[in-house]
Amino acid sequence: MTSRYFLGIDVGTTNIKVVLYNDQLEMVQSAAVKTATPSQRDEGLIEVNYLRHQVFSAISQCMDAQNNSAVQAIGICGMAEAGCLLDDLDQPLTPVHLWYEDRSRLFANKIRRDLGSLVASQCGLKVTHVRSLSKFAWLIARTGYSTARWIGVPELVGLWLSGNYGTDATLATRTGIYNVCSKKYSSEILDYLHARQDQFPPVYSAPACIGSIQPDVGCKLGLNGDALIFIAGHDDIVAAYGVNAEPGDLVDSTGTAEGIIRVVDRLVHPGDLAKFGIAIAPYFSERSYALITGAGTTGALIEVLAREIGLEFDVLDNNISPPSSYHRNDFRVKLSETRMPIILRNDLQDRPFELWSALYDVIAERFRRAANKFLRFCDAPRRVIFIGGSAKSAELCRRKSSKLNLSFIRAPEIDATTRGAAAVAGFAIGDQPRLWDQLV
């Protein structure tokens, strides 16, 4: 019997990763490229054609020398709340605005005053410049294109591959417009924005199949013309699925920003969650949901500090000083879920291993505070699963898990986001690829 293959695509803030998996969800080949140039990343804007080139380049590199006709389905996940405006012919009207860029902050402030409680009650989100509804309102006002449509980054990749416009509930929720309880875009919020429902991607039930790959695109990328395209969802939630997280599991997913996910088996009222900075989205198992909160842009902080120190990651980890072996005020940072990190004070510049220890202690404490928010709504978790950047350091995992007095599992060799995306696509066509089941 001919093996089947699935492609997982993750469009992150820093990197675009594309991984080919077999029907046992074992990695066959992978490729990664930078999502944006340094100047684009600093500005928070990416030209759409540049992003398309990068996505297609990563796919082509991954598929090089493979049996392309065997790819049955493609799952796409990525950063939420980043996107652009489209015209009626699916042409971009603006660059892609990354989630953290804050040009819409004044619009966000007004929307929060007028509609903040309504948005919170429907999806558990606080209105900030990060939310898609803030970017949409600002871009419509700035460009004058009142009938333009909003599209997020994973959905944009889906449009390029399939020619169709659509999304899933995990990404729709992050716009700030989707009502998790009614499973529809909010008519009250749309009225406030003077927008129509069709100015946002239609929301498909998971697994969200938006069509087949366009023949000319498939030919260009070396992909089977029958391959189905799925919007797998918000990267943090898809990553939790990629390691088979279930109710009772706490998942720590670190890319540029750190997302903490708790899988639960009941719907918790979004308004109650919002008071504690927790959002909710449907999960992929039947009648389950993902609660999600953030610990800030800790991945970006690690990257910045490692670059400043100028030593290899493994050298820093292997020689790290013990916890609290420095003066508490020697290292201070400002972290949030909506902005890049700012180092406020660093008196440990000439003591790299103490500095690395101080960094880990700051991150572990932020993790503790974020994870404990969930205790108001569910029992203590049974374990922590570390994926993404956090999983690469056993020391950081130990410091984080000790804050909660929990056992932990780390999966440094698994790219959970692309694996989750491939699994969503594979399950949808009935192939039932095997999720990671070695969690002990």
Q: Which residue has the tokens 């700030």?
A: 176
Name the architecture of domain 5-237+416-428.
Answer: 2-Layer Sandwich (3.30)
Strand ranges, E, within 160-248: 167-168, 178-179, 184-185, 203-204, 208-212, 228-234
Is residue 3 pLDDT above 80, yes or no? no
Residues listed for the chain = 440
- pLDDT of 354: 93
Q: Which two tokens stand for residue 280?
A: 């909710």
Residue 215: Cβ within 10 Å count: 11
Give the whole-angstrom CA distance, residue 158 versus residue 142: 26
CA atoms 14, 19, 25, 26: torsion sign = negative
Of residues 292 and 339, more confidence is placed in 292
Mean pLDDT along residues 266-288: 89
Distance of CA 119 to the CA centre of its chain: 20
pLDDT level of residue 431 (50, 70, 90 thresholds): low
Is residue 82 pLDDT above 90, yes or no? yes
Mean pLDDT along residues 94-108: 96
User: 5-237+416-428 with 245-413: one CATH topology?
Assistant: yes
For 231-265, the pLDDT digits (tens) are 999 998 999 999 888 888 999 988 888 989 999 99
Is residue 30 pLDDT above 70, yes or no? yes
Is residue 288 pLDDT above 80, yes or no? yes
245-413 CATH pick, 3.30.530.20, 3.30.420.40, 3.30.43.10, 3.40.50.720: 3.30.420.40
Peptide bond into 207 cis (omega under 30): yes
For 323-338, the pLDDT digits (tens) are 888 888 889 988 877 7
Please classify residue 294 by burial: count the beta carbons closer than 10 Å to its beta carbon, then call 0-12 exposed, 13-18 middle and 19+ buried.
buried
Give strand pairing partners of 184. 179
Please state, in angstroms and as integers, the Cα–Cα distance from residue 127 to each residue in 98, 176, 299, 306, 336, following that order. 16, 7, 23, 33, 14
- pLDDT of 284: 84
Is residue 430 pLDDT above 70, yes or no? no
**Side chain identity, residue 308:** E
Mean pLDDT along residues 404-429: 88
Please classify residue 205 by burial: count the beta carbons closer than 10 Å to its beta carbon, then call 0-12 exposed, 13-18 middle and 19+ buried.
exposed
- Give the single-character DSSP code of 92: B
Domain parsing of the chain, residue ranges: 5-237+416-428, 245-413
Contact between 112 and 90 under an 8 Å Cβ cutoff? The reply is no
- pLDDT of 433: 54
Please state, in angstroms and as integers, the Cα–Cα distance from residue 375 to each residue in 248, 264, 345, 368, following that order. 11, 12, 32, 11
pLDDT level of residue 26 (50, 70, 90 thresholds): confident
Q: Which of 54, 36, 32, 33 is nearest to 44 (CA)?
A: 36
For 212-233, the pLDDT digits (tens) are 999 999 989 988 778 999 999 9
Helix (H) or strand (E) holding 38: helix 38-43
